[in-house]
Chain A
Amino acid sequence: MNGIHDVGGMHGMGPIVREDNEPVFHHDWERRVFALMISTFAGGQYSVDEVRHAIERMDPAHYLASSYYEHWLHAMETLLVEKGLLSQTELEAKRSQLAQEHS
């Protein structure tokens, strides 16, 4: 797919910023996304190539504005809905519930 992920040779993206002593996770929710990805892989829900393609299919502006683990989360949501393990309605309901709990 000739998508936004294939940025090799593109100008104007700025320097690659290297973080000294970079932690494995910057936020606790990233640990959870990592664990969910490993467990859904082990459950045989999808291949790494399906996950990569789900990331490539993200809206280009969203792709550029979101972090590495947001890409993982987006791919899991996309694939689990496409494979029928989750419904979009269930996802939206959980999002609303969490938003209310944290408001």
Chain B
Amino acid sequence: MAVLTPDMVPAAVATGGSARVNVEVTPRFKPGDRIVVRNINPAGHTRLPRYVRGKQGVIQHDHGVFVFPDTQAHGGGPKPQHVYSVRFAAHALWGSEVSSQDSVYIDLWDDYMDPA
């Protein structure tokens, strides 16, 4: 079993064990692409908030490749894939009573989205 020794502590606490992985994976989207979020409701772990499922947004920024939490939480392996900052118009999520100027940015994995 691996053991945490005192000299390892500062680095472990400072980095927090990033989920970023250094592997080449082809991104499914690029900034500017319009997407629709998949309406998935897994009984297991997901990082996809309920309030964006089925909604349309626009890819703003590609963060790079990260472990996929939905499989990693259940022994299904890291399934590395791109994570993007995705912009949703506030009124697309919360209706016409909210400001048309406001947006919500959410980090989403490739497997959460389809082209709109």
Residues of A within 8 A of B (CB): 1-2, 6, 8-9, 38-39, 41-44, 47-50, 52-53, 56
User: Is residue B93 contacting chain A, with contact meaning CB distance below 8 A?
Assistant: yes
| A52 near B45: Cβ-Cβ < 8 Å | yes
Give CA–CA (A6, B46) in the complex, Å: 10
Give CA–CA (A2, B48) in the complex, Å: 10
Size category of the binding interface on chain B: 20 to 34
User: Is residue B19 contacting chain A, with contact meaning CB distance below 8 A?
Assistant: yes
Contact (A42, B73) CB under 8 Å given A1-B43, A48-B17, A56-B45: no
Q: Chain B 82-93, CB within 8 Å of chain A: the 1/0 string?
A: 000000000001
| A9 near B51: Cβ-Cβ < 8 Å | yes
Give the nearest-CB partner of A10 in chain B: B51
Q: Chain B 58-77, CB within 8 Å of chain A: the 1/0 string?
A: 00000000010100111000
A42 neighbours in B (Cβ, 8 Å): 2-4, 8, 12
B42 neighbours in A (Cβ, 8 Å): 1
A9 neighbours in B (Cβ, 8 Å): 50-51, 93-94
Q: Which of A8, A39, A47, A50 has the most CB of B within 10 A?
A: A47
